[in-house]
Chain A
């Protein structure tokens, strides 16, 4: 066998190994993405009518005040939730990173909310937030969390943080448990106090996980839908309307799927840019 044919055989076997994943990737990711972009260049509805209109849907979106509001609402929601989820997840992980029985119980308890469906979560939080007989109303008097334009999005953010805190906590816990005990012992011998150890040893050791948590949460929280749909329907007066709910309303209530596809592509671009900015900023700091 010549060197050339051996190298060709190696290349073929390489392709054979990646082929199953490549097929799934192309079928379920690349094709829908490209198909969505193609759809966004059409005026199309769910009943089959379709007309190529170039970038008109994107131009319309830029002129659409409701869409701009949805973009701002979503960014506001991400700003409310992602830092809070990251910091709270880290604090909980630091507090529960030991093998005591209480820590095990609390870890399970904090993670348990993550397994609930969005319907259950929002029902629970409606019972907490509604001004008519809700838990907070009983304690502090009626506050219209879900019908006040300023309070609706923070209320959805608090619900989301409660619901989603389990994943960042578990990721941070896994990272903390990977930090070699030797490093803490060396720090103790180096006379490092608790805070010095936290900032100089622990946090730098889990910085990659922190980056993963932030990127995952940016991607997840930009896709806010169920909570807003069930708790406020995007109201009052679109104050809690996120991009995905906008897409849903345009695509499945007004049947304008070309326009909805264009909004989806904008959301995709926003998530991509946000995740990339975070990724490259963290890598730059690391260097």
Chain B
């Protein structure tokens, strides 16, 4: 099979484990996003695939050939760094040509590939500029161009959008998605930003504390979070997770310690018209919708997602009804009992 396959990959820094038995397969034309909080091991995962870190156990295969013993330049991978890592003393053209000249690509072939990549990324006019003469977005493009010309079997992106402003981030996200559609090569993208993960990924790998929590499509991850961590990490505002005992009207199955409700599963009613009444603490108006932060009688806080004009103000009392079809039940270990994710 083509693509990338990690089998039981583990890594320690001294006595500190940073990756613990990671197994993952990425199809030859699939875009997989690794999502997780800072320190979960996602960047290290990228670095061990790139060969910038060695592994202590397991194996890494690319297009069926084992690569974990190869130096970075021989693995057939290209990486776009968070800082872009463009060589500051070289022009964009020289940056793109550097890797090609090291792998024995002829000057004519290198010129052809650079021209093609520049056309694809609409950066022909930037080729003779140095990185210091480029804006953040242009540097980003140059870094992607440097990766493309190598025609790698796997592209890797290490939080490449984190240095861009919000508008440019959105546009670059679309460009990366469009690039993936055009070049149809395996891509591994690391981010802590769930919007990037949800909008770009064919599949998302959610990592937490050195391990993979769940692998699935963005829809599966959102609708069927396998664990309480995934449920809380994906979604904005985060899923409401409350002790099961605080919502007795939900009548969840035995063994449930906590229940989870997305803000859109918490419906606002007139006082007395729902499962329970709650006091409005804060209303966050977002234009097309509103987040209403409420205090339950037991002291727990809950967020509801409502329309643009819910007609509520801080201090008001509202009834809230729970969408029973959308309730997640978590056991003592944080596993989702109601909606286990697909294997």
Measured CB to CB, the residues of A under 8 A from B are 180, 182-183, 185-193, 196, 200-201, 204-205, 207
Contact = CB atoms under 8 A, between A and B. Distances in A.
5 contacts: A186-B87, A188-B51, A189-B50, A190-B150, A196-B102
B98 A182 contact: no
B278 interface: no
Contacts of B52: 185, 188-189
Contacts of B86: 186
B134 interface: no
B83 A189 contact: no
B10 to A, nearest CB: 21
A7 B183 CA distance: 58
A183 B131 CA distance: 13
B89 A189 contact: no
At the interface, is chain A mostly helix, strand, loop or mixed? helix
B78 A189 contact: yes
B102 A190 contact: yes
B235 interface: no
Please indicate which of the listed interface residues A186, A193, A204, A207 has the most CB atoms of chain B within 10 Å of its own CB.
Answer: A186
Q: Would you list the 5 A-B pairs with minimal beta carbon distance, nearest first?
A: A191-B73, A190-B99, A182-B85, A186-B85, A191-B102
A185 to B, nearest CB: 5
Contact of A188 (B73, B88, B150): B73
B98 A204 contact: no
A205 B90 CA distance: 10
A182 B83 contact: yes
B103 A191 contact: yes
Contacts of B71: 188, 191
A204 B88 CA distance: 9
B98 A192 contact: yes
Please indicate which of the listed interface residues B77, B85, B150 has the most CB atoms of chain A within 10 Å of its own CB.
Answer: B85
A30 to B, nearest CB: 36
A188 B102 CA distance: 10
Contacts of B77: 189
B87 A201 contact: yes
Contact of B85 (A180, A200, A204): A180
A192 B150 CA distance: 13
Contact of A189 (B72, B87, B88): B72
Contacts of A207: 89
Interface string B67-95: 00001111001110101011111000000
A187 B50 CA distance: 12
A200 B99 CA distance: 11
A13 B46 CA distance: 54
Nearest to B84: A182
Given A182-B81, A187-B87, A190-B73, 10 more contacts: A180-B83, A180-B85, A183-B87, A186-B86, A188-B52, A189-B99, A191-B73, A191-B102, A196-B102, A205-B88
Interface residues of B, number: 23
Contacts of A193: 102
Contacts of B79: 185-186, 189
Nearest to A204: B89
A180 B85 CA distance: 8
A72 B266 CA distance: 90
Given A191-B103, A196-B102, A186 B81 contact: yes
Contacts of A200: 87, 98
Interface string B185-229: 000000000000000000000000000000000000000000000
Given A180-B83, A183-B87, A185-B85, A192 B51 contact: no
A263 to B, nearest CB: 42
Contacts of A204: 87, 89
Please indicate which of the listed interface residues A180, A191, A196 has the most CB atoms of chain B within 10 Å of its own CB.
Answer: A191
A26 to B, nearest CB: 37
A188 B89 CA distance: 17
A152 B81 CA distance: 55
Contacts of A201: 87
Contacts of A190: 73, 98-99, 102, 150
A183 B85 CA distance: 5
B193 to A, nearest CB: 20
A183 B73 CA distance: 14
A18 to B, nearest CB: 29
B14 to A, nearest CB: 14
Contacts of A180: 83, 85
Please indicate which of the listed interface residues A180, A200, A205 has the most CB atoms of chain B within 10 Å of its own CB.
Answer: A200
A196 to B, nearest CB: 6
A190 B98 CA distance: 7
B253 to A, nearest CB: 50
A287 to B, nearest CB: 11
B81 A191 contact: no
A200 B98 CA distance: 9
A190 B89 CA distance: 16
B318 to A, nearest CB: 51
Contacts of A191: 71-74, 99, 102-103
Contacts of B87: 183, 186-187, 200-201, 204
Please indicate which of the listed interface residues A180, A189, A190, A192 has the most CB atoms of chain B within 10 Å of its own CB.
Answer: A189
A204 B98 CA distance: 14
Interface string B3-28: 00000000000000000000000000
A193 B52 CA distance: 14
B178 to A, nearest CB: 24
